[in-house]
């Protein structure tokens, strides 16, 4: 074995194999488009952390930041910014709805539609957000109206079908449409048409507190203020009629009392009264004249009360 002098450098003949981790390997040069996209995402995240005043930032940049990194601050800013679109859409729809539909309910449903539109909007599609969100807002309001309506949608569809056919026939002929004409136009037999007509007239509910018409005063006239139920008799008139009947028949005999009641209250003829009381028609007429003469003499001093 040869001696090695001090200071002589030692050279190894074997080159050891050095393992290089995958992260240390040389990566291929990124394409210019990928580099730009990576730099853009980095700048977006950096700007999203330092939002500052959102009013000073372009709307396209805000949408880009919101798509890459969700932010409650940006979402709330968008809701406030596009709230006028919700109000405009709700006002347009409220013009064709009954007065009992609350405008605030439409606004609330429209705001939920706006939030859904903000979460689902993709600016890369090239569609303006105002155009996109209007449809989502209208859809949310329609969904709310359907949930408030107690009548099924099938009944509403049948009602619309029946009314459109009836109006079309009346416009063509100029006369009121008959059931046979509507059934023939709809190509239905009598049973199917009866079912369609019955389903097209559902029982409707009306709020008695809704406004009937506006007045100059601060208090509006409501339905309950002008509604009239003709199926029932006025209690005051019923009591007055009973008092008058008792006053007129007071002091008369049974036959005379029956003549007055049957003639004036039951609206029977003299002949019918005679058959009922087993008297002749002339006798009933004579008794009637005598009763009127006595009642006229008795009621002269109370003429003002009547």
pLDDT of residue 60: 84
d(CA 122, CA 112): 18
CA–CA distances in Å: residue 143 to residues 100, 146, 200:
17, 5, 22
CB of 4 closer than 8 Å to CB of 10: yes
Where would I find the H helices in 174-299? 179-186, 190-199, 223-226, 235-248, 254-260, 270-277, 281-299
Please give the mean pLDDT across all residues of the chain. Answer: 75
Lowest mean pLDDT among 56-70, 208-222, 292-306: 208-222
Lowest mean pLDDT among 74-78, 148-152, 160-164, 300-304: 300-304
pTM: 0.44
CA diameter of the chain: 173
25-59 pLDDT, tens per residue?
A: 444 444 444 444 444 444 444 344 455 577 777 88
CA-based radius of gyration for the chain: 45
């Amino acid at each position: 074995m040869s001696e090695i002098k001090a200071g002589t450098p030692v050279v190894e003949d074997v080159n050891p194999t050095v393992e290089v981790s995958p992260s240390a390997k040389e990566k291929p040069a990124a394409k210019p488009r990928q580099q730009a996209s990576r730099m853009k995402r980095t700048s977006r995240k950096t700007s999203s952390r330092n939002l500052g005043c959102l009013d000073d930032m372009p709307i396209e940049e805000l949408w880009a930041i919101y798509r890459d990194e969700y932010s409650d601050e940006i979402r709330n800013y968008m809701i406030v910014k596009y709230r006028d679109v919700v109000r405009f859409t709700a006002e347009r729809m409220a013009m064709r709805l009954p007065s009992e539909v609350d405008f605030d309910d439409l606004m609330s449903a429209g705001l939920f539609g706006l939030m859904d539109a903000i979460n689902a909007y993709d600016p890369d599609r090239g569609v303006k957000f105002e155009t996109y969100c209007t449809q989502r807002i209208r859809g949310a309001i329609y969904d709310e109206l359907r949930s408030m309506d107690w009548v099924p949608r099938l009944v509403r569809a049948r009602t619309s079908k029946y009314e459109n056919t009836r109006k079309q026939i009346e416009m063509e002929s100029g006369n009121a449409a008959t059931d046979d004409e509507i059934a023939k136009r709809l190509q239905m037999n009598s049973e199917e048409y009866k079912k369609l007509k019955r389903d097209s007239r559902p029982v409707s509910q009306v709020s008695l507190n809704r406004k009937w018409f506006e007045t100059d005063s601060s208090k509006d006239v409501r339905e309950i203020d002008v509604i009239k139920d003709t199926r029932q008799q006025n209690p005051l008139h019923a009591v007055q009629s009973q008092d008058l009947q008792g006053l007129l028949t007071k002091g008369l005999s049974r036959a005379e009392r029956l003549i007055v009641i049957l003639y004036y209250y039951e609206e029977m003829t003299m002949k019918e009264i005679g058959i009922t009381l087993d008297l002749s028609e002339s006798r009933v007429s004579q008794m009637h004249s005598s009763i009127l003469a006595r009642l006229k003499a008795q009621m002269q001093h109370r003429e003002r009360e009547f």
